[in-house]
Structure 1
Amino acid sequence: MSEESGININKIVVELVQKNVDKLTVGLGKFGADQFKKLKLKTGIAFESYLSAATKKYGYSKTILYRDRNVALYDFYIDMDLKCGKEIVNTNNINNLIEQNNFVTVYGSGGIGKSTLFKHFFMSTIINTNFIPIFVELKMINDEEITLLDCIYQSLSNLKFDLEMNYFEQSLNSGRYLILLDGFDEVVDTKREKLIKEIINLTDRYDENHYILSSRRSNALYNGWNKSINFDLIPLDKTKAIALINKLDYDTEIKVKFLEELKNNLFEKHSSFCSNPLLLNLMLLTYKDFAEIPEKVHIFYDNAFNVLYSQHDATKAFKRKHKTSEDLAYDQFVKILNALSALSYMDSTVRFDLPTLTRYVNNAKKITKIESFDTNNFITDIVESICLLYLDGLKYNFQHRSFQEFFAANFILNQSDKKLFAILSKLIDTRHDSLNTDNVLNLVIEMEREKFEKIFLIPKLKEIKNHVQDSSPELTYYNYMKTSFSSYQLDPSVLGNEGFEEIGDCVSFRYIKKNRKYYNEFIRYIIEKYKDIYPTIELPAPNLGYKRIDIIEKYGELNNENGEVNINLDIIPQNKELMEDFLKHSKMYIMFYNFAMHLLEILEEKHSETDSILGELFGIDI
């Protein structure tokens, strides 16, 4: 389903609820005939009210182009494909996906359109299936201490659902729901482990329902919810990119010129931008003022903000005067925005009520020492004039998280060397999963790689080296492993799962729960950033071949409940045979560490040479 025209959605909602109301009310309690009839009627009305309100919410949306008004979803939506291994699934009809499995995870990069796809899934479920869809924005969990079940119920009750929680919870046994869990990656790091457990418990207990979850790539989620089939959202191809631009209501002259370039060689030249719906929209938005498409994404975002700041609605010739224009110069406005974004990002805050947003702006004033403007006027500007944030109910959201990440990266790079090191270190320590899911560090490196290397990467790698270095290579490697892991173990229960074909594959490491250093995660991130720049540095092969288990069985402690054999890392240095076995099982991590230390030597030499040349040319000591 790619078009909604000609469909009476209200009629379909009524019919859908009537098809399900009998099953939804089975086992809701012991009532007399009249009481049960009233409960059944109340249940039907509650779901009709929710679905009617939800189709208005999720069937329409504001976008970076349509910042002033809600636009029908199918006026700008293009069907995207999903990939699992070699299998391609077309998302035109939700049935194509739910027939795969009851439990599905959709992974995609920032701006690729996961939330928009989920809005389509919601509408398609109503029109093409007999299931009742529930759209859950997981970032709601950040706002207060609530369970996943509370979050699901709140998602319903926020949209006119009037049925007691206990009745709804019992109705989950009916298997009549398709629950869309949108934005796992927008949940703060500190709540993700608990959320994964709740997802597992919910899907185990009510396993006849369908569940689809979206996220940027997350190791915690990928490894945690193993009953799910994992799909990747395929970027736009040239045909879909052209179809998307054709759909958009935009200045005709600009759109025609842009389409002409897109059809010629623009897509091939800038495929990484053109294949991402958000970036493709930004390309169109900036096309009039910046005909040349930049090679780097941070310049792209900078251009987009310039356009947003200088004009109000790209679909018509209209510009609103900024309320802060007399009090704030452009560069001052950006500094406040940078600070606001960095503060909220470091707090893992992606949506704000008004008092929280006000607090962030006021704190940004203090940090920048720019206080000659009214906070309420600034909020009005970023919501109404520039439309960088939008109001959804009582919560303010960035038009897209990518903008928050971009401005946060700007803020970090404008700090002193000492502050930059401290902020990035805190980012790694408190938001380690963001290395895989977010773009702040990616943008920092893209904007100023040399500064990143000299001020942060070299000192951080030295810190790691000094923390783990010992009297022998074996003890150094052991110390490195101890920064992340508390034990290594043999877990026969995973035998037969993907990647665990024989018992020797079942050896793994258990993470430290408290006072853990995230050196391993950081080094793996750095390897991804530098392995192509320095391809001569040795990387571990996918299968290192060491699969002995007899040493673990000989010295390990057996857990009779689950069959695991566990060895605490604290006992290893006293046993030569055990140390040798442990380090062989750790070889992949050891090679990661060796890569980092080799990289450190290369970067120190490179920057020493650069400083020497600079000092000689300018006649200064560096």
Structure 2
Amino acid sequence: MSDIDLNEASARFAAAIVSDIYNSFVKKATRSLNATQPVITGNLKKYAITTTETFGTIRTIVCELPSRLLDIYQPAQFKVGEHNVDEQTFHKDIEANKRAVIRGHAGAGKSIFLKKYFLKRLKDRESIPIFFELRNLNHNYSTLFKHLYDHVHNIFPWIEVEIFRSLLRAGKIELYLDALDEVSHTIRSSVNTNVTQLIAEFPKAKIILTTRYGDKYATPASVTEYHIQPFSLNQATSLIYALDFHEESKIRFCEALKSGLYEQNSGLLSNPLLCSIMLLTYRRFATIPDRLHLYYQQAYEVLFSRHDASKESGFRRDLLSGLDVAEMQAVLNHLAAVTYASEKFEFTETELTETLVGAINSVGVSSKPSEIRDDLIEAVSMIHPDGLHFKFVHRSFQEFFCANYISKSKSKIARLCIDAVKMRQDTDSVIPMAVALNPDRFEEAWLTPTLSEDLSRFESMMENKKFYAIVRETLPNIEVRGNYLLLSVGKDARSRNFDIYMSVLDAKSDFESIDYSRLKIISNYENLSAYFRACITHTATPKEFKDQIQSGSIYIDTEDRNLAGLADLAVWEIAAVKIIATLRLWKAYLDKKTRQREASPLEAFERATLANMRRVEGDLGGRPRHVEGDGDPQDARK
């Protein structure tokens, strides 16, 4: 869109809605305002211009320069229940229902779709669309409504709080809430509640929320949940051809997709982000890695070298920092670990500089923070400016580099990192990638010591007959569906440990897992009332038991009549015995692996050689060779 077209479109947007908003809401406000209709018109026009410029262009992992969103956008496909829904149907449905939750995996195109729809609503000129990135709640969170109001008031100073409420009630403000999964786990429960309250309080307001799977947000029954679908072969090739990239490489890659490459790697190629990355890596390697972390590693190496290869004349531009590919990755590992562990998905220039200073000290290079920052933005394309903030080109890269940091760090620091990130394992990939990158380090640093501590603690609880506490801490979540109660247990930091044990160790054939299905509520609520009354006398006071029901912590299997007939304490005890037996089996398995590692002649030789090198270097007065992760352990907790 040219500057003239944008100016005219923005003027039409402002003119279309200013009269109604001014006469129906602003003039009726009880508070005295100095906002005239021409002032509001100018404010609305400026907003339309700014947001169109902001959301109308996007940066992709493939293109060195920003691309027009409409040039590369591929229409989304959704699933609602068992029904397939295209984008046009979504537009009709959302006009009728006013609210939606859009779920999808990392890189599936949720935010791109939401920005595209935002631009459509600007063009429709019916109300004021507001795009709000929910990660902004991580800074001094109070309530969602207050953050939204502050955001709107900063853009439109004439919108006081009562006008804001009135506009929402009338549906004259639309809210597009992006990436609930980026909200810190410490406030996630409150934010989830606030979202539901917002939906209930303003039924006429159009509210669309995006999030990854596993975020634990319980979509209200009045809200339609749309599941964004993987790319088809046609969508994948259409995206590739639309990207501003080497034409011959695009043609070869698309021909390979049509010749079987897509079918062989549909799990990766059906994801827009991963499909774009594969275009980069395929040009250089002509193969597709079968492990996700290798996929990101290849992408990083291609991006690092691209600032050389993009010059057909053979011109080589050195990085300002002078870092090589390994040193720059070590810096990125540190940056990702520090920011991700503190759930920072965007950071100010000061925060970025301070973290880079820590990375420089940890890695042992002499580059300036400003040089590394400029290289990461302009040459390597791993960090992108976003207004007054900076962020990774995609959060999945932040997860990859954080996993890399864990896999290369000393055990003490690795354990601190894993403890800091484990609350996000339901939505993110740090722990699975860390395990894949270096399974021995993960076991030595976190899995073995943590499991041993939990087993010791559970055995002590068992002696004190705290069966319920053991079960509550380990049982997986269940849901409430219709008239049937499938009540879930709460998940705190400790109970996340068992989730990781299950995902990392449950695939082993050396032991049996617990049959959790025998402990889940699968009965109609009315049939459980007698059991609930019995539980009150054994496990809690009536008030405490009511709290337990609300948080979800009562389990019984009514299919097994013998089990259902047991006293509730016996039910808890049976489950606790199974849990501890499984932990003992896991510990025995890990202890056996540890003994095998320690008995390996090669590893014993490597450990002895490394220790000897450090001792010699110390005797000679030299600085011991750096091992990534030797920095201050507090880095991982910042």
Q: Fold-level match, TM-score > 0.5?
A: yes
Which whole-Å CA distance do the structure 1 matches of 2:412 and 2:137 have between them?
A: 34
Check conservation: 2:340, 2:421, Cα contact below 8 A: no
Structure 1 residue 179 displacement after superposition: 1.1
The one of 352, 355, 363 equivalent to 2:347 is 352
Within the candidate set 581, 584, 587, 2:568 is matched to: 581
Name the SS for the 1:408 alignment partner: helix
Partner of 2:97: 101
Check the 8 A contact 1:469/1:476 in 2, yes or no.
no
Map 1:163-312 → 2, pairs under 5 A: 163-166=158-161, 167-221=163-217, 223=218, 227-312=222-307
Distance 2:577 2:311 in 1: 58
1:382 corresponding residue in structure 2? 376
CA distance in 2, matches of 1:583, 1:120: 56
Partner residue of 2:361?
366
- Aligned to 1:458, the other structure's residue is in SS state helix
- 1:55 is aligned, of 41, 45, 52, to 52
Partner amino acid for 2:483? E
- Residue 541 of structure 1 corresponds to which residue in structure 2? 517
CA distance in 1, matches of 2:385, 2:442: 35
> How far 1:238 moved relative to its partner?
1.4
Residue 415 of structure 1: aligned partner: 409
- Kindly tell me: are residues 564 and 475 of structure 1, through their superposed partners in 2, closer, same or farther at Cα, counting changes over 3 Å? closer
Structure 1 residues 300-355: Cα deviation after superposition (integer angstroms, max 9, x where no partner): 11111111111239877486431011xx3432222122111111111111111111
1:309 to 1:36, Cα distance in 2 relative to 1, 3 A: closer
2:208 partner amino acid? I
Could you tell me which amino acid in structure 2 is paired with residue 524 of structure 1? D
CA distance in 2, matches of 1:133, 1:275: 30
Tell me the distance in 1 between the aligned counterparts of 2:482 and 2:516: 19
Pick the aligned partner of 1:72 from 60, 68, 85. Answer: 68
> What amino acid sits opposite 1:449 in the alignment?
P
Q: How does 1:117-128 map to 2 (within 5 A)?
A: 117-127=113-123
Q: 1:145–1:479: structure 2 CA closer, same or farther, 3 Å change rule?
A: closer
Q: Deviations over 1:147-205 (max 9, x none)?
A: 433443455466x6453433334322221232110011122222323322332332222
Bigger Cα displacement from structure 2, 309-318 vs 419-428: 309-318
Report what 1:116 is aligned to.
112
| CA pair 96-452 structure 1, distance change in 2 beyond 3 A | farther
Give CA-to-partner distance per residue, 1:7-54, whole Å, 9 cap, x none. 96655554454444455342445489xx99964444343333212211
Where do 5+ consecutive residues of structure 2 fail to align? 554-563, 609-638
Please give the alpha-carbon distance, in whole angstroms, between the structure 1 residues aligned to 2:391 and 2:33: 42
CA distance in 2, matches of 1:590, 1:113: 45
- Structure 1 distance, partners of 2:486, 2:245, is 56
Query: Secondary structure of the equivalent of 1:214?
Result: strand
1:251 Cα offset (Å): 0.6
1:552 aligns with 2:532: yes
Q: Is the 8 A contact 1:94 1:128 kept in 2?
A: no
Shift of 1:63: 1.2
Q: How does 1:372-451 map to 2 (within 5 A)?
A: 372-428=366-422, 432=423, 434-451=424-441
Contact preservation (8 Å) 1:478, 1:583: no
SS at match of 1:289: helix
Mapped contact 1:104–1:213 kept (Cα < 8 A): yes
Deviation at 1:274, TM superposition (A): 0.5
Matching residue of 1:499? 481
How far 1:131 sits from its partner (Å)? 4.0
Which position in structure 2 is the counterpart of 1:489?
Answer: none
What is the Cα deviation at residue 615 of structure 1?
5.0
Q: Deviations over 1:452-484 (max 9, x none)?
A: 234422322221111111485893633414658
TM (normalized to structure 1)? 0.82
So what's the TM-score if we normalise by structure 2?
0.80
**1:519 alignment partner AA:** R
Q: Work out the CA distance in 1 between the residues paired with 2:215 and 2:120.
A: 30
Residue 497 of structure 2 aligns with an amino acid whose one-letter code is: F
Which residue among 89, 95, 111 is the counterpart of 2:85? 89
Q: Which amino acid aligns with 1:478?
A: Y
2:210 is paired with a residue whose SS is strand
Cα distance in 2 between the residues matched to 1:313 and 1:581: 69
Give the CA deviation at 1:507: 5.7
State the distance in 2 between where 1:265 and 1:225 align. Answer: 42
- Cα separation, partners in 2 of 1:456 and 1:386, compared to 1, 3 Å: same
1:558–1:564 CA contact under 8 A, matched in 2: no
Q: Which amino acid aligns with 2:431?
A: L
Q: Which residue of 1 aligns with 2:467?
A: 477
Cα 1:620–1:400 change in 2 (3 A) is closer
> Which of 481, 489, 496 is the matching residue for 1:521?
496
Contact 1:64 1:281 in 2 (8 A): yes
Q: Percent identity between the aligned chains?
A: 23
Within 2, Cα distance between the matches of 1:188 and 1:566?
23
Aligned equivalents of 1:557, 1:195: Cα separation in 2: 30
Instruction: Indicate how the Cα distance of structure 1 residues 169 and 484 shifts in structure 2: closer, same or farther if over 3 A, else same.
Output: farther
Change (3 A) 1:286 1:550: same
Whichever residue aligns with residue 496 of structure 2, its letter is: E
Equivalent pair of 2:471/2:572 in contact (CA under 8 Å):
no
Return the letter of the residue paired with 1:289: R
Q: Structure 1: where are the runs of 5+ without partners?
A: 486-496, 570-576
User: Residue type matched to 1:448 in 2?
Assistant: N
- Equivalent residue of 1:312, what SS? helix
Shift of the alpha carbon at 1:596?
Answer: 4.7
User: Partners of 1:72 and 1:420 in 2: how far apart?
Assistant: 41
**CA offsets, 1:200-231, max 9 Å, x none?**
3322222210111111124442x376653322
Asked if 1:462 is matched to 2:462, the reply is: no
Task: Provide the rounded CA distance (Å) in 1 between the counterparts of 2:569 and 2:79.
Answer: 37
Asked whether the 8 Å contact 2:152–2:159 carries over to 1, the reply is no
